[in-house]
């Protein structure tokens, strides 16, 4: 069984300057990986930690504290007989933080524009939203932004443990075809709880399959 490494994703650097990021993306235009983005406080760090082990990303209760793009490198485990490449994880800064200044917003926009213009299409975008109320204003704004770029995305609806009744769960399921129809670039939707680990295994396997598929196409393993 091939898995993501636990506790072994190597932090490479945090980038907040456009010039630096531009250079990095151009020097690394053929990499394979995933990028994770979502509204602040939606559970992005918790999800990264659920996939890669406890201390990979910082879990913070202060919305919008992580304004840098954090880049990690990792190898898949359980495939020793096949020479697999290094993979990359991009922890992208959260959007939709209430107290952000105009300058901060501009910086976010510029960094994200760089990312979606130059990141290889072998990097899968994972967008996290809140399962209790997906497609909120700031999520919609992000998708309007994303529509400008030809980029496919996986939508993760997190915190399903907060849906207490079957009725709430059914409401969420009903929204899935609506979201697929509204956002054509969303190719898969998962609902899970990063905190309680519900549904994380299925999502983990989808991430591994994505990475292996891209590897097969690019390296003919």
Long-range (24+ apart) CB contacts under 8 A made by 206-209 are 206/154, 207/4, 207/34, 207/51, 207/124, 207/126, 208/2, 208/3, 208/4, 208/76
Scan residues 34-93 and list those touching ligand GDP (CB under 6 A). Answer: 38, 40-46, 59-61
Provide the minimum distance between the beta carbon of 27 and ligand GDP in the complex, in angstroms, as a whole number.
27
Question: Considering only 12-20, 103-111, 178-186, 187-195, which stretch makes contact with ligand GDP by CB under 6 A?
Answer: 187-195
- Give CA–CA dist 6/17, Å, rounded: 29
Number of shown-chain residues binding ligand GDP (CB under 6 A) = 19
Question: Considering only 73-81, 102-110, 140-148, 192-200, which stretch makes contact with ligand GDP by CB under 6 A?
Answer: 192-200
Pair type for strands 123-130 and 153-158: parallel
Question: Considering only 100-108, 171-179, 189-197, 199-207, which stretch makes contact with ligand GDP by CB under 6 A?
Answer: 189-197
Q: Which is nearer to ligand GDP, 49 or 215 (CB)?
A: 49
Tokens of 101: 């200044």
Q: Does 197 bind ligand GDP (CB under 6 A)?
A: no
Q: Which is nearer to ligand GDP, 159 or 214 (CB)?
A: 159
Q: Are 135 and 161 in contact (CB under 8 A)?
A: no
Count other C-beta atoms under 10 Å from residue 63's C-beta: 16
Question: Considering only 3-11, 119-127, 140-148, 157-165, which stretch makes contact with ligand GDP by CB under 6 A?
Answer: 157-165
Please, is 32 exposed, middle or buried when counting C-beta atoms within 10 Å of its C-beta (0-12, 13-18, 19+)? buried
Provide the minimum distance between the beta carbon of 179 and ligand GDP in the complex, in angstroms, as a whole number.
19
186-191 sheet: strands from edge to edge:
10-15, 69-74, 87-91, 33-38, 123-130, 153-158, 186-191
Q: Which is nearer to ligand GDP, 31 or 128 (CB)?
A: 128
Provide the minimum distance between the beta carbon of 66 and ligand GDP in the complex, in angstroms, as a whole number.
7
Chain CA centroid to CA 142, Å? 13
Provide the minimum distance between the beta carbon of 175 and ligand GDP in the complex, in angstroms, as a whole number.
18
Tokens of 31: 């990499």
Site residues for ligand GDP per CB under 6 A: 38, 40-46, 59-61, 94, 158-159, 161-162, 193-195
């Amino acid at each position: 069984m091939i898995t993501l490494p636990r506790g072994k994703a190597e932090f490479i650097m945090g980038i907040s300057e456009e010039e630096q990021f531009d250079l990095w993306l151009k020097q690394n235009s053929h990499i394979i990986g995933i990028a994770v983005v979502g509204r602040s406080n939606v559970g992005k760090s918790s999800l990264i930690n659920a996939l890669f082990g406890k201390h990979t990303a910082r879990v913070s209760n202060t919305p919008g504290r992580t304004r840098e793009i954090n880049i990690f490198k990792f190898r898949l485990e359980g495939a020793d007989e096949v020479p697999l490449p290094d993979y990359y994880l991009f922890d992208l800064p959260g959007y939709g933080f209430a107290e952000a200044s105009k300058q901060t917003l501009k910086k976010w926009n510029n960094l994200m524009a760089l990312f979606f213009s130059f990141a290889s299409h072998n990097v899968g975008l994972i967008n996290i939203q809140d399962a209790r109320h997906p497609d909120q204003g700031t999520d919609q704004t992000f998708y309007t932004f994303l529509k400008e770029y030809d980029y496919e995305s996986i939508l993760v609806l997190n915190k399903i443990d907060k849906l207490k009744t079957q009725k709430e769960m059914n409401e969420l399921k009903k929204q899935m075809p609506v979201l697929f129809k509204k956002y054509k670039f969303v190719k898969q939707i998962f609902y899970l709880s990063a905190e309680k680990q519900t549904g994380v295994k299925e999502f983990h396997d989808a991430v591994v399959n994505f990475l292996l598929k891209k590897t097969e196409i690019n390296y003919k393993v």
